[in-house]
Structure formats: C-alpha cells, structure tokens
C-alpha cells in the first residue's frame, strides 16, 4: 500500500478522515471499540481450513442466517433480521422506515446521519450528567409525533447505561402513540450483570420495542460485519427484512455464526478480561487532576478534560503526532462544550498505562510539536 503521507502530522490528517482500515497504518488504536480477547485462535483456524468453500460458494440467505443468530441468542427465527453490521439495519430504520425519529444526543451519529433531512429530532441529554430523563424524552417524542425513538445503552460516546426499568417505562409511555422504541445494546456485553440488564429475553412482552445489536464490538469481528434486529413486532421485522438484499452477509460471517455457540465460555471469559482492563483504566484516569471521568459500562471511557488543559482536538492530535496513539475527540457531537470531551477505547493494561502517561505529558503542552 502506497502511503498517503510523509510526516506524522500528515498521517494524522489522513487517518482522521478515515472510517477503518487502521491496521494498515501501524498505530495504537484507542479510537475504535474492539474486544481484543475474542475470537480465539481456533476460530481463525476453522475459517482458514474452510476458506475454499467460503470463497467459492454462495452464502445463506436471510431465513437461514436468522436461525444461526437465533441459536446464539436463544430466540425464534421470525423475530430476527440479520444485517451487514448494525449499520445496515440503522440505514433501513432511519433512512427508510422512520417518518419522524427522535434520538438522545450525544449518541452514535449514524442514527441521525442516515435519516433524510427533516425527519430526525435530537433530544439533548441532561447536562453535565448525560443521563436520559425517559419521562421528558417520551413527552417530547409524543409531542413531535415521532414514530421511532432510539436509545443506545450503554451510550456511545458516554459509556453510560439507561436502567432497564426506565426503558420499560419508556416503551409503555410510547405505546399509545404507536412509536417504536429501538434499543441499541451493542455494548451491553461489557456491562455488569448484562443478562439482567438486557431486554432481549423480555422482547415478547413489548410489541413496540426492538433490540439492535452490532456483533462487531463485543465479538471482536469488525471486519466480518454482522448485526441483528430482534423484535416481536412482526410488521417491523418484515419491513426491515424487505430492506436487506438476498445475500447481505458473506460466507465468512455465516461460518462464524455457525460455529459461535461452541465458544460461549470463551466469549464470556473474554468479556471479563475486557471489563477488568477497563476498570483498572478507569481508576487510573480518575487520578489525573481536574479530569472528569464518567464511570463506564462499555469498553470505552468518556472524559472531560481539565479546564486548563488543551482542547479535545489538540490533545487528540498531539497524542498521535508524538506517541502514535489515536483517540476520539467529541467535536461533531451535539452537546455543550464538545471540544472539552474525549472518548478513549480501553485496550490492554499495558497499552492503557502507556496512554495515561502520554496523556499527562501532552495535555498541558503549549509549544508547537515539531
């Protein structure tokens, strides 16, 4: 691959405009959100051993894929639609099905970005706590005539949960106005007591609710692109199903789903390792004077930089130029003081410790980097 840059600063400018392929550019990625401990090597060995069939043959279509996901999450096939990552399903929900969508902000931008102009309303989270007041949110959704409301929990970028009891209350409040509640649980595997927090097992009770999950994050398979929608609302499931093309998932992703139930324990163990690294990372970030660190429930941590520190974009750029470490600043998110906030993905304990040392060194540096 021919480099698009000759200096570290040019490399930063190039990388900051990309949406993936980071492994080609040799830096420490604290921006994208991976499970570094899954899949195990046996999964890769299996895919390599079957590469001829996976490349040369057509993959399964939607009904068979839904059955594979159903085997993983213990849900009936008719409730499941499998997407080419969560992004494909978001594009269908926001871009095609929702007539008026409401989403709390800051959040994952794709829900708003995928919606046609004039069809999305951004609802500000309580500031500076970034908590969702579900009663106010429901009232606003009803007021604007929303037919779809989105809640990401744990939220991206804040890494904060919305309690399960609040989500149930929200669904009940939205039900009379025929507003679908989409709950994005893509990062819930990294939360404590996630099985008790998830609404997947309760989905049959709430016909105006759907769970969306990108499997890329928790299962460490960003390149395979697998996501799913789970709902007991047959009309919504059919509408989303009609929006995906017949072979939307490739053979490698299909084979991964086929063998995934064999690795349930390995997956659970990997999530425990991620949480342990994250919790240590959180405690060490909290030691930095003046830094406000939000207690995370996902595999990333949201921070407000000290008032006397450099801005988020400056810190992000300086970290990359001097230490070849990439994080995310929050400029571009809808919130007050966006330039004071950063989101840092947790990696290994060693990499997290290196980042903290680098961050403390550069965040107050005033002279120009050379």
- pLDDT-based confidence at residue 16 (cuts at 50, 70, 90): very high
What whole-number distance in Å separates Cα of residue 178 and Cα of residue 195? Answer: 28
Q: How many CB atoms lie within 10 A of CB 135?
A: 12
Over range 253-260, report the average pLDDT: 98
Q: Taking a C-beta distance cutoff of 8 angstroms, is the pair 168, 206 a contact?
A: yes
User: Could you give the domains of the chain?
Assistant: 8-40+265-362 (3.90.1150.10), 58-261 (3.40.640.10)
What is the residue whose two structure tokens read 């995906």? 244
Give me the pLDDT at residue 259, please. 98
Confidence bin at 195 (pLDDT 50/70/90): confident
What pLDDT does residue 240 have?
98
pTM above 0.85, yes or no: yes
The pLDDT value given to residue 2: 52
- Tell me the pLDDT band of 3, cut-offs 50, 70 and 90: confident
**Mean pLDDT computed over 23-31:** 96
pLDDT digits (tens, 9 = 90+) for 93-104: 999 999 999 999
What mean pLDDT value characterizes the chain?
96
Q: What are the tens digits of pLDDT across the range 335-357? A: 999 999 999 999 999 999 999 99
pLDDT, position 1: 53
- Indicate the helix (H) or strand (E) that contains 212: strand 209-214
User: What does the pLDDT look like over 40-88, one tens digit per residue?
Assistant: 999 999 999 999 999 999 999 999 999 999 999 999 999 999 999 999 9
**What percent of the chain is predicted at pLDDT more than 70?**
98
Exposed / middle / buried, residue 366 (Cβ in 10 Å: 0-12, 13-18, 19+) = exposed
Residues 104-156 pLDDT 10s: 999 999 999 999 999 999 999 999 999 999 999 999 999 999 999 999 999 99
Return the bridge partners of 148, or none.
101, 180
pLDDT at 158: 98
Cα 140 to Cα 151: distance, rounded to the nearest angstrom: 14
Residue 263 has pLDDT above 60, yes or no: yes
Query: What pLDDT does 330 receive?
Result: 96
Q: What is the mean pLDDT of residues 15-22?
A: 92
Q: How do strand 300-304 and strand 292-293 relate by DSSP bridges?
A: antiparallel
C-alpha distance across the termini of the chain, in Å: 26
The predicted structure's pLDDT at residue 258: 98
Q: Quote the tokens at residue 261.
A: 């139930």
Arithmetic mean of pLDDT, 289-300: 98
Predicted local distance difference test score (pLDDT) of residue 370: 42
Number of CB atoms found within 10 A of residue 221's CB: 23
Q: Report residue 366's pLDDT band, with 50, 70 and 90 as the boundaries.
A: low
311 is written with which tokens? 């801005």
Confidence tier at 367 by pLDDT (50, 70, 90)? very low
Looking at residue 38, what is its pLDDT? 98
- 199, pLDDT greater than 70: yes
């Amino acid at each position: 691959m021919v480099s698009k840059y000759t200096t570290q600063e040019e490399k930063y400018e190039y990388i900051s405009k990309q949406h993936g392929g980071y492994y080609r550019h040799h830096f420490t990625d604290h921006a994208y959100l991976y499970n570094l401990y899954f899949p195990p090597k046996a999964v890769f060995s299996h895919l390599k051993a079957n590469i001829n069939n996976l490349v040369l043959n057509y993959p399964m279509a939607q009904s068979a894929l839904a059955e594979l996901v159903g085997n993983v999450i213990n849900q009936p096939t008719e409730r499941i639609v499998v997407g080419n990552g969560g992004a494909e399903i978001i594009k269908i929900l926001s871009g095609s099905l929702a007539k008026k969508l409401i989403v709390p902000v800051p959040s994952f931008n794709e829900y708003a970005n995928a919606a046609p102009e004039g069809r999305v309303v951004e609802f500000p989270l309580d500031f500076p706590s970034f908590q969702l007041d579900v009663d106010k949110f429901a009232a606003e959704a009803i007021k604007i005539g929303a037919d779809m409301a989105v809640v990401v929990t744990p939220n991206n970028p804040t890494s904060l949960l919305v309690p399960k009891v609040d989500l149930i209350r929200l669904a009940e409040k939205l039900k009379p106005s025929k507003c679908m509640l989409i709950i994005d649980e893509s990062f819930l595997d990294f939360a404590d007591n996630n099985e008790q927090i998830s609404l997947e097992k309760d989905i049959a009770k709430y016909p105006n609710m759907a769970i969306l999950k990108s499997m890329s994050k928790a299962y460490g398979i960003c390149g395979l692109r697998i996501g799913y929608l789970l709902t007991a609302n047959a009309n919504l499931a059919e509408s989303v199903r009609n929006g995906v093309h017949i072979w939307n998932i490739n053979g490698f992703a299909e084979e991964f789903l086929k063998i995934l139930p064999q690795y349930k324990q390995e997956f659970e163990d990997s999530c425990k390792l991620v949480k342990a690294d994250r919790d240590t990372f959180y405690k060490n970030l909290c030691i930095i004077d003046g830094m406000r660190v939000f207690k995370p429930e996902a595999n990333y941590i949201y921070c407000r930089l000290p008032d006397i520190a450099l801005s988020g974009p400056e810190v992000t750029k300086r970290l990359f130029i001097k230490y070849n470490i990439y994080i995310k600043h929050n400029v571009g998110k809808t919130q007050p003081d966006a330039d004071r906030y950063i989101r840092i993905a947790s990696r290994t304990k060693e990499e997290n410790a290196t980042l903290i040392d680098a961050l403390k060194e550069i965040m107050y540096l005033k002279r120009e980097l050379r």
